[in-house]
Chains A and B, each alone.
Chain A
């Protein structure tokens, strides 16, 4: 990719296909960065007929028609640090993020220690700033230790920078605790995020309940385990008037319940993750532990329902659901293997599959990974506008490549998309105007 001029000098990125879902802009034009901010953006900006003419004193970067979009905002990422640095550090996480075009990410609280205390929230923010790659934000735990018993100090955690509250990988199972978490959070207008899975129904399960689980002799997690908790929590949100968000929704039934709740005007939102619109339980194959995810990969009917919900707006955002797990916990017999897959570097290409398959228009697909999650997290990100931080990504939507887990930047290699042929890749990523990533083959 283009050379990267010093950040002190204003830089004009010209001849780019500007894609900004927030404003609906999709046109060839230019973007001017001054310091850490976007100074100007527009169709045909700096264009002079067939040529580009940049302001006096500004460096010029010719983007050669590549797409220029807001940096991706990934609202569901697990960091190994602190506690499990052998799986992922904030350093490896930051590098994996920018390699995937992600410039803001939100860390789940399920670290060791759990993010239920201001010091942990501050530690992650400080370390991420030092790494200087993607911007890292945190969720605060909704309950102490993410154990689902006592409420965490949500007010204080919010002051320390927590964007929203969730027990992350764990569902808040007890209905009364959930009701209290919602009610309390709503006093501060804070968002609660739920991993919707009724634990008693899911207990011992290794994959989606159904014909395939039966054939493989694996204990199943029924789709209803998700729908039951979604329905319950919608009622609790209604009782308390709280804002509630469901993470990685994976089933047709849950989506139907969420659609009904939205139609009734409740403050319910949800996201899904690429595996749930690009893979199914069939991808478990012969006990592939990289396809052991939580929630489990579902049926083809569920996958189609997820795509439909992305199209009709029932699903607000797409997050990578990046869960790094090492070989020690993945190279095991399937029932014993850990749940989860990495996803930062496949978030963009798998989301673009929806565009290539003509399910979504380019701007609508990008909105799901930029402006929409930024809005949910109330972050000043995911938008190309003058005055905004210069966080953006240049990508080639057509570039074909094959996912090779060993070549991904994450310290853990557990990609459910390993080996998949995909199209679209980040070519260069910028955070606060700094070039933080350039794809290898394009490096000069």
Chain B
């Protein structure tokens, strides 16, 4: 058969063919590297004066937040705007969602308006997955319950990679409320996939059952856990998710698991200090440590967040065009 070649549908984004970003679990090292490399290219753009591109011109992104969040929402909003997309924010106050049916109801309503990407933050684990089954657009999980927060892990990895030049072979400590932390889970998946070793440091009451099966090592003594670590990642104590007394008092918590210079001395001298924010100063982290200009990269994490989210939005949108084509 001869004739003009048919126009091929746009290819998926080279090296990352997923439709949604629901979690880090299941991604390969090369897929993660693709996301990080793409993010890297946006860091310089964001530092320049002309920050705006037209990559996502005409695309619609909806930020659907069932939990209050300023930094993640703003970060996605900025990312979308810098790529030229129309982005709207829908914050559903937690008091209005006594029952989760509004998740599906809201999703169906929004879906009818043909958004290209839905960015979801929800208090229940699995919510992003449920949403992705019900809508035609791409879904980005911006945090679901205690499950995953993939863009946070990516921005953490980008921050580390820029500072240390690699992820492989690093020893990373994640300290604090592992049980309720989606940040911890996404980071464990990402770091172990990339060849870093992960240590979890917390009292037993804040460590979920059989977490070692995720490939991390558990410590209850912070000084021992921090020994030789390249990265010290502190988690926020999520008091709102806690069922019952998991530790006796904040001062006792700080005494044994709060990061101060004494405990930090066990880590490598050039260990970086990270925190996903917002910080409870004096609870999980001493103010002096948090603000240590030489070692704390907490503000850099925020900066990387925008770059990572630009990359994620760009890549998922590129893949969306392909899937839409396929469905025709």
Residues in B neighbouring A219, C-beta threshold 8 A: 146, 243
Verify A287–B214 contact, CB threshold 8 A: no
Q: Which residue of A lies closest to B146 (CB)?
A: A217
Verify A332–B99 contact, CB threshold 8 A: yes
The SS class assigned to the A binding surface is loop
Verify if B138 is at the interface (C-beta below 8 Å from A): no
Quick check: which of B78-86, B154-162, B203-211 contacts chain A, the rest being far away?
B203-211
Verify if A333 is at the interface (C-beta below 8 Å from B): yes
Residue from B122, B130, B147, B210 in contact with A216 in the complex, judged by beta carbons closer than 8 Å: B147
Verify A215–B209 contact, CB threshold 8 A: no
Verify if B67 is at the interface (C-beta below 8 Å from A): no
Verify B104–A217 contact, CB threshold 8 A: no
A334 touching B104 in the complex, CB below 8 Å, given contacts A215-B25, A217-B145 = no
Residue from A206, A213, A286, A334 in contact with B209 in the complex, judged by beta carbons closer than 8 Å: A213
Verify if A373 is at the interface (C-beta below 8 Å from B): no
Residues in B neighbouring A86, C-beta threshold 8 A: none
Verify A214–B125 contact, CB threshold 8 A: no
Give A276 to B127 CA distance when docked, in angstroms: 26
Verify B126–A216 contact, CB threshold 8 A: yes
Residue from B130, B208, B213 in contact with A333 in the complex, judged by beta carbons closer than 8 Å: B130
The A188-220 residues at the B interface (CB cut-off 8 A) are: 203-204, 206, 209-211, 213-220
Verify B126–A215 contact, CB threshold 8 A: no
Residues in B neighbouring A174, C-beta threshold 8 A: none
Verify if A48 is at the interface (C-beta below 8 Å from B): no
Verify A335–B25 contact, CB threshold 8 A: no
A204 touching B243 in the complex, CB below 8 Å, given contacts A287-B125, A287-B130 = yes
Verify A287–B100 contact, CB threshold 8 A: no
Give A118 to B100 CA distance when docked, in angstroms: 37
Residues in B neighbouring A336, C-beta threshold 8 A: 99-100, 124
Residues in A neighbouring B211, C-beta threshold 8 A: 214
Verify if A420 is at the interface (C-beta below 8 Å from B): no
Verify A333–B126 contact, CB threshold 8 A: yes
A333 touching B103 in the complex, CB below 8 Å, given contacts A218-B146, A219-B243, A287-B125 = yes
Most B CB contacts (10 A, CB to CB) among A211, A220, A331, A336 go to: A336
Verify A286–B147 contact, CB threshold 8 A: no
Residues in A neighbouring B147, C-beta threshold 8 A: 216-218
Verify B209–A333 contact, CB threshold 8 A: no
Verify B126–A287 contact, CB threshold 8 A: yes
Verify if B284 is at the interface (C-beta below 8 Å from A): no
Verify A211–B209 contact, CB threshold 8 A: yes
Verify if B144 is at the interface (C-beta below 8 Å from A): yes
Residue interface bits A248-276, CB-to-B below 8 A is 1, else 0: 00000000000000000000000000000
Verify A335–B130 contact, CB threshold 8 A: no
Q: Which residue of B lies closest to A204 (CB)?
A: B243
Verify A332–B213 contact, CB threshold 8 A: no
Residue from A210, A328, A333 in contact with B125 in the complex, judged by beta carbons closer than 8 Å: A333
Verify if A341 is at the interface (C-beta below 8 Å from B): no
Residues in A neighbouring B124, C-beta threshold 8 A: 333-336
Verify if B129 is at the interface (C-beta below 8 Å from A): yes
Residue interface bits B176-194, CB-to-A below 8 A is 1, else 0: 0000001001000000000
Verify B209–A222 contact, CB threshold 8 A: yes
The A314-334 residues at the B interface (CB cut-off 8 A) are: 328, 331-334
Verify if B101 is at the interface (C-beta below 8 Å from A): yes
Give A118 to B178 CA distance when docked, in angstroms: 51
Verify if B116 is at the interface (C-beta below 8 Å from A): no
Verify if B77 is at the interface (C-beta below 8 Å from A): no
Verify A211–B145 contact, CB threshold 8 A: no
Minimum Cβ distance to chain B for residue A331 (Å): 6
Give A204 to B244 CA distance when docked, in angstroms: 10
Give A217 to B144 CA distance when docked, in angstroms: 9
Give A147 to B101 CA distance when docked, in angstroms: 28
Verify A215–B214 contact, CB threshold 8 A: yes
Give A209 to B145 CA distance when docked, in angstroms: 16
Residues in B neighbouring A213, C-beta threshold 8 A: 208-209
Residues in B neighbouring A328, C-beta threshold 8 A: 101
Report how many residues on chain A are interfacial, defined by Cβ distance under 8 Å. 24
Q: Which residue of A lies closest to B131 (CB)?
A: A333
Verify A333–B122 contact, CB threshold 8 A: yes
Q: Which residue of B lies closest to A284 (CB)?
A: B126
A332 touching B129 in the complex, CB below 8 Å, given contacts A214-B209, A217-B145, A217-B182 = no
Residues in A neighbouring B130, C-beta threshold 8 A: 287, 332-334
Residues in A neighbouring B314, C-beta threshold 8 A: none
Verify A211–B213 contact, CB threshold 8 A: yes
The A326-380 residues at the B interface (CB cut-off 8 A) are: 328, 331-336
Residues in B neighbouring A333, C-beta threshold 8 A: 100, 103, 122, 124-127, 130, 144-145
A217 touching B101 in the complex, CB below 8 Å, given contacts A287-B130, A333-B126, A334-B125 = no
The B118-144 residues at the A interface (CB cut-off 8 A) are: 122, 124-127, 129-130, 144
Residues in B neighbouring A335, C-beta threshold 8 A: 124-126, 145
Most B CB contacts (10 A, CB to CB) among A209, A222, A286, A334 go to: A334
Residues in B neighbouring A220, C-beta threshold 8 A: 208-209
Give A84 to B322 CA distance when docked, in angstroms: 46
Verify B125–A286 contact, CB threshold 8 A: no
Verify if B148 is at the interface (C-beta below 8 Å from A): yes
Give A222 to B209 CA distance when docked, in angstroms: 9
The A215-234 residues at the B interface (CB cut-off 8 A) are: 215-220, 222
Residues in A neighbouring B185, C-beta threshold 8 A: 215, 217
Give A336 to B144 CA distance when docked, in angstroms: 13
Residues in B neighbouring A204, C-beta threshold 8 A: 243
The B145-173 residues at the A interface (CB cut-off 8 A) are: 145-148
Residues in A neighbouring B182, C-beta threshold 8 A: 217
Give A206 to B243 CA distance when docked, in angstroms: 13
Verify B104–A331 contact, CB threshold 8 A: yes
Give A215 to B99 CA distance when docked, in angstroms: 24
Q: Which residue of A lies closest to B134 (CB)?
A: A331
Give A328 to B209 CA distance when docked, in angstroms: 31
Minimum Cβ distance to chain B for residue A95 (Å): 29
Give A315 to B152 CA distance when docked, in angstroms: 48
Residues in A neighbouring B126, C-beta threshold 8 A: 216-218, 286-287, 333-335
Q: Which residue of A lies closest to B97 (CB)?
A: A336
Residue from A203, A209, A222, A332 in contact with B101 in the complex, judged by beta carbons closer than 8 Å: A332
Minimum Cβ distance to chain A for residue B214 (Å): 7
Closest 10 pairs between A and B when the two form their complex, measured CB to CB: A217-B147, A333-B124, A287-B126, A217-B146, A217-B125, A211-B213, A214-B208, A332-B100, A211-B210, A334-B126
- B positions within 8 Å CB-CB of A: 25, 99-101, 103-104, 122, 124-127, 129-130, 144-148, 182, 185, 208-211, 213-214, 243-244
Can you spell out 25 A-B residue pairs with CB atoms less than 8 angstroms apart? A204-B243, A209-B209, A211-B210, A211-B214, A214-B209, A215-B25, A217-B125, A217-B148, A217-B185, A218-B145, A287-B126, A287-B130, A332-B101, A332-B103, A332-B130, A333-B103, A333-B122, A333-B124, A333-B125, A333-B126, A335-B124, A335-B125, A335-B145, A336-B100, A336-B124
